[in-house]
Amino acid sequence: MKILVTDQSGVEHELEGLEGWRVMEVIRDWGLNIKAECGGACSCATCHVYVDNAWMDAVGTPNEEEEDMLDSVGDVRSNSRLSCQILMNDDLDGLKVTLAPSAAKDEAA
């Protein structure tokens, strides 16, 4: 299954994902510019992405813990999610997300 990820420079990457993997893991393992400091524990907000509006229903809404983490970043939007909280499945084949500036490993990105 595919994930289309736009990086902080505006370049779109088509990544191969696996069933049950966190979107964050796919992005990190393909070497894109994502901190993902906590490794998926929903405790850092450094895997912040913007979900394409067409995919918002498919990914669902953040739980309270994720919302609390998102409140800690300055570039949050209505379509913000933590990519560690989105699990790949057949319904998300073709998912489009954009890496938030706050997720960058290097601030110059």
48-88 pLDDT, tens digit each: 999 999 999 999 999 999 999 999 999 999 999 999 999 99
Containing 66, the helix (H) or strand (E) segment is: helix 64-70
Across the chain, what does the average pLDDT equal? 94
Torsion of CA 91, 103, 74, 4, to 10 degrees: -30
Inter-residue contact 53 to 79 (CB < 8 Å): yes
Quote the pLDDT of residue 109: 42
Residue 106's pLDDT band (boundaries 50, 70, 90)?
confident
Q: Which class is domain 2-102?
A: alpha beta
Beta bridge partners of 97: 5, 51
User: pTM of the predicted model, to two decimals?
Assistant: 0.94
Beta bridge partners of 95: 3
Domain residue ranges of the chain, discontinuous segments joined by +: 2-102
26-48 pLDDT, tens digit each: 999 999 999 999 988 999 999 99
Residue 50 dihedral angles phi and psi, to the nearest 5°: -105, 120
Quote the pLDDT of residue 13: 98
Q: Looking up tokens 């890496």, which residue turns up?
A: 99
